[in-house]
Chain A
Amino acid sequence: MTNAPILSLQNLTMRFGGLLAVDDLSFDAKRGDITALIGPNGAGKTTVFNCITGFYEPTSGGIHVTHDDGKKFSLEKLPDFKIAQRVHVARTFQNIRLFAGMTALENLLVAQHNTLMQASGYTLFGLFGLPGYRKAEREAIELARDWLERTQLTDRADDPAGSLPYGAQRRLEIARAMCTRPVLLCLDEPAAGLNPRESDELNVLLRSIKNETRTSILLIEHDMNVVMEISDHVVVLDHGKKISEGTPDFIRNDQKVIAAYLGVEEDAVEEIEAEVGL
């Protein structure tokens, strides 16, 4: 097992015409950690995500993922599906993107496409129902059942994903990403729209993913309850730049971070805090 960070960003820059969305950003996410990426609206968090998962091709800079066996991948030129297929980086979306007309179980089976595709001899063996494929499909269903249980969705396994309540859809999307057997799981605002009880359950789920499957997690989140509770390391972005990074406790008290969130200059923070009585 290597000690290299699971994910390493070097001088990542993303420019849309005249807009500099991500500006020379570098940070590492440690293996087995939950790393949170926070920042005010429009700070460029989702853009960073889209660069990591290949939905955008960064203007410049490097993105590297190192597997447990020390194998290293450069992500900046790989197309999106190859990042998920070869590097095993899975993601969820800010606005949930499930296959609404397919059942929860089918959603999890689609996630195991590449494994099943090989088992089905690229469709040929599967077409004639050879035993090898049938075994692979049973295993796929078992993995799906396991994740449905962990996300408390077993009862809704045969219902279309589009008919599930919002919180369940969020959980199903995480389960679907986990069914690709990722080394790095990128969650884009997993707690958005969840009530306090549901976001507590989310904390439990993410912790169990971290501890039981040893999957590293990178998450964007606005819900500070979630961020402060479960992350090992926090990176703060503002206007595409990294303004701070450290443990949750360090970030909580960092003047620069507070200033960015309040939208004022750094030296005005104490003044405001005095005014509101902090």
Chain B
Amino acid sequence: MSATRTGNASVLSHALKDALIAAIVAFGLFMLLLGFLTDDSRGPLRLLSRPVLLATTVGIVFVGRFLISLLYYNAAALRYYLGELWTAICNFAREFKIALLVVLLLIGGGWIFFSPKDWPLILITVATILIGVRFGFSAALLVFAALFPVAFYNNPYFLGIAIIILTYVMLGWGLNIVVGLAGLLDLGYVAFYAVGAYSYAIIAQAYGWSFWVCLPLAGLFAAFFGILLGFPVLRLRGDYLAIVTLAFGEIVRIVLLNWVSFTNGPNGIGSIPRASFFGIPFNATDEGFAAKFGLEFDPTHRTVFLFYVILALALITNWVTIRLRKLPVGRAWEALREDEIAVRSLGINPTNTKLTAFAIGAMFGGFAGAFFATRQGFISPDSFTFPESALILAIVVLGGMGSQIGVAIAATVMTASFELFREFEQFRLVIFGFAMVGIMVWRPRGLVSTREPTAYLKERKTISVEHVAEGRG
């Protein structure tokens, strides 16, 4: 133990030395290149010095080199230090549970004392941490999501972002069935999102049926399109499958764009009926939600309602996926990802297995699409372009194919960071790209790259990633 510790200490000092040398070299290189600037814009030629730029560059080289030598060459050492830190935190939490509780209550109490207006936020923070310590990360996330509108009731901007995040969580979970479980690479998932949205918009406008009637219909239509896509690609694998699904996504978008009489083409469909609270609309009239429940009219009611609708839809997706994994059909999906020939030798119909994966994945995409349409009130083919498919696929891949919690985290991080970097408009995609490359180098199989077995004889052991296949179509 002490041997590794000294070993790791020497690794740290070695990395520091390494970084220092790199910084000196960078200084020598950039001193003249970046440190000085000749300028003749105002009068005679002048020599300007730029010490801040030089220092920043050298600093970046130092930190970068340090991280590289630690991360890349000495990943084991880094993991050791992080592991030590995490163990220490866990031990502390375990040993001083009551102390932790007191500290939390003190911090919370103090916070309320100084800014009483924030009490809901504090409440859910404390609740989340307590639930997290007792029941684990997933439960904490669930409690946080359920209490979110309480804390941010006065912040429609946050609520809006949360709704977008949950939509992508749901889309990620839907695609996860196809890509993560069945191992079928689908680059055109947004097509099902579009089919759901347009089905809802057109049916709701034409027949005036309520959201709750149109929602299952939208899901059914999307599932039907899933089967429609499934049939021609049954015999394709890997890259070929990816190309055809990509084309399918484009075909759906182009049809929506050009079938003007039906979809109103590039102008999109506007004034889509809003979702109602089981028949009670959210408006300022006497028949509205606020009046019926004796509240003052507030547009946030609708937003909160939408939040809970998408939360419920996402949780249904999650629940169904978790159940399906433990049923023969889910096991057949995973087996298909592992080895299709062996699947056939066991008398499992690979056609049905693939089609159910496509159909069920597409159905959840359709639900999400219907929700999108009712939330926006306006849809056009512009919302269903290829980058959207790529984003959803990125969420699944980054999250760790097949992992529910990983996909949820990835969706949250990606969608939230898109909002976070809104100020750096033109750099958004660059940052996004770097983050992707970074994660793929650091964790080539996604954030959560282990697999939970669906049944066990004696004990449930998590399966490490090297055994699990990625699926070749």
Contacts and interface: CB of A to CB of B under 8 A. Distances in A.
Contacts of A154: 457
Nearest to B464: A160
Contact of A93 (B324, B334, B342, B466): B342
A91 interface: yes
A102 B461 contact: no
Residue of A100, A110, A160 most packed against chain B (CB within 10 A):
A110
A31 B455 CA distance: 35
Interface string B339-365: 101111111111000001000000000
A148 B457 contact: yes
Contacts of B270: none
Nearest to A85: B347
Contacts of A145: 457
B228 interface: no
Nearest to A159: B461
Nearest to B329: A123
Interface string A93-132: 1000111111101100111111011001001001101000
A180 interface: yes
Given A106-B454, A117-B328, A126-B328, A162 B344 contact: no
Interface string B307-351: 000000000000010011001110110110111011111111110
B469 interface: yes
- Range class of the B interface residue count: 35 or more
A110 B346 contact: yes
A117 B459 CA distance: 25
Interface in B396-444: none
Contact of B338 (A83, A102, A117): A102
B344 A81 contact: yes
Max chain B C-beta neighbours (<10 A), residue from A102, A117, A120, A157: A102
A18 B6 CA distance: 68
B251 interface: no
Contacts of A177: 345-346
A128 to B, nearest CB: 8
A81 B342 CA distance: 10
A91 to B, nearest CB: 5
A37 interface: no
A176 interface: yes
Contacts of B342: 93, 97-99
Given A106-B453, A158-B453, A100 B350 contact: no
Contact of B468 (A80, A86, A101): A101
Interface string B226-265: 0000000000000000000000000000000000000000
Nearest to A118: B328
Given A98-B342, A158-B460, 12 more contacts: A83-B347, A84-B345, A101-B337, A101-B469, A102-B335, A102-B338, A109-B454, A110-B332, A113-B332, A120-B327, A158-B453, A158-B456
Interface of B: 320, 323-324, 327-329, 331-332, 334-335, 337-339, 341-350, 356, 451, 453-461, 463-464, 466-469
8 contacts: A80-B345, A100-B469, A113-B328, A116-B328, A126-B328, A157-B458, A159-B461, A160-B468
